[in-house]
Structure 1
Amino acid sequence: MNKFRKIEDSQIEITQLMLPSHANFSGKIHGGHLLSMMDQVAFASASKHSGRYCVTASVDRVEFLTPIEVGELVSLKAQVNFVGRTSMVVGIRVESENIQTGEKKHCNSSYFTMVAKDENGKSCPVPGLIIEKADDVRRFLRSANRIASMKNRKTTFKAAQGINFMAEEYLKELEAFNVQLDL
């Protein structure tokens, strides 16, 4: 296994024509179909980087920015932005193109955390990342920050073993939200 790999080695782009069978009840492309495509391209990118079978550990920040129409081409561009010991963060950009007008729209950006697996299904080490551009430094550090925030979210407001969450300590914070308390 190479100790380090270039980001460009993990880059994947797929393009697919959106069909009526991909549409939801309002005639736009179903978000679930798009998520499935994103998972596939994340798998391909992470597997290409690691040389291993990879599984999805988490999906962070999926925002559907603009709807995709039946008949448009959808392109998904993915690359590994960050690597840990056994995991990789794959950044994905989704664009649609109207075939008749050539108009392109940025529809979605998302980040999938993928974990490399060995032949026994156990997590295994992945190569490090060779960073060659300033933009890649930005992507790497944003991913590192996102991971740290995710770890913080897991512990914030978590009841420790044997200790109950004390809601009374946080009731004042709820005044800023659209809630009615009936405790």
Structure 2
Amino acid sequence: MDKTFKTVASSHISISELMLPSHTNFSGKIHGGYILSLLDQVAFACGSKFSGNYCVTASVDTVNFLKPIEVGELVTMKASVNYVGKSSMIIGIRVEAENIQTGTIKHCNSSYFTMVAKDNQGKSMPVPGLILSNLDDVRRFCNCLKQIALKKERDLHEEIFDYSSEETLSALTKYNVQLELDSN
């Protein structure tokens, strides 16, 4: 069977939205939850465009809020498929905010979402292979490989770590916690 391959560039999605007062949190900055909602939408659009199927969010792997976004700024989210598995894709999203009066652009957020392609019955579907056309594509793909390896290592550590050992419990004294464990 001949597998279909698509370029990273074929997955590119960009959306822009003006930030309104209704999008603010209690400190007057744009609410992180609102930005997360937009991130999920652009990740869906990017994954669906690339795979040709409906996609669901499997995980939000990283969301780094770097700088606050102000009311009146034009926010642009640029997404691309950085990695593909059998039915999953890691979507990288860069968020920039532009002061439309001065033209100043700031990088506000970097995010990585894992999306899975689904058919009409909700069954996982294979996604096209990824054509890496330049060294930026290669760098992003390799960074995803590192991210996947770190997640597997973290999950393995979680499985084998003994939270109840005397050594673990005594080590907690150097943190801002107080142990008041029941006898159960």
| TM more than 0.5 | yes
**2:152 corresponds to which residue?**
151
Q: 1:168 aligns with which of 150, 166, 169?
A: 166
**Deviation for aligned residue 1:175:** 5.5
Contact 2:163 2:169 in 1 (8 A): no
Q: Deviations over 1:132-168 (max 9, x none)?
A: 11111111011111112112222313369xxx75432
Conservation of the 8 A alpha-carbon contact between 2:132 and 2:138? yes
4+ residue runs over 6 A deviation: none
Q: Structure 1: state its 5+ residue gaps.
A: none
- Which 5+ residue runs of structure 2 have no aligned equivalent? none
Please give the secondary structure, in 1, of the residue aligned with 2:42. helix
- Aligned residue in 1 for 2:92: 91
Structure 1: distance between partners of 2:165 and 2:78: 43
Q: Distance in 1 between matches of 2:98 and 2:172?
A: 43
Deviation per residue, 1:9-33 (Å, 9 max, x gap): 0000000000111111111101011
Query: Could you tell me which amino acid in structure 1 is paired with residue 138 of structure 2?
Result: V
Give SS of 2:112's match.
strand
Please list, as runs of the form range in 1=range in 2, the aligned pairs for 1:97-112 lying within 5 A after superposition. 97-112=98-113
Following superposition, the deviation at residue 124 of structure 1 comes to 1.1
User: Distance between the aligned counterparts of 1:124 and 1:41, measured in 2?
Assistant: 20
Deviation readout 1:13-55 (Å, 9 max, x if unpaired): 0000001111111111010110000001101111111000000
Question: Distance between the aligned counterparts of 2:35 and 2:118, measured in 1?
Answer: 25
- Percent identity of paired positions between Structure 1 and Structure 2: 62
**TM-score computed with the length of structure 2 as normaliser:** 0.90
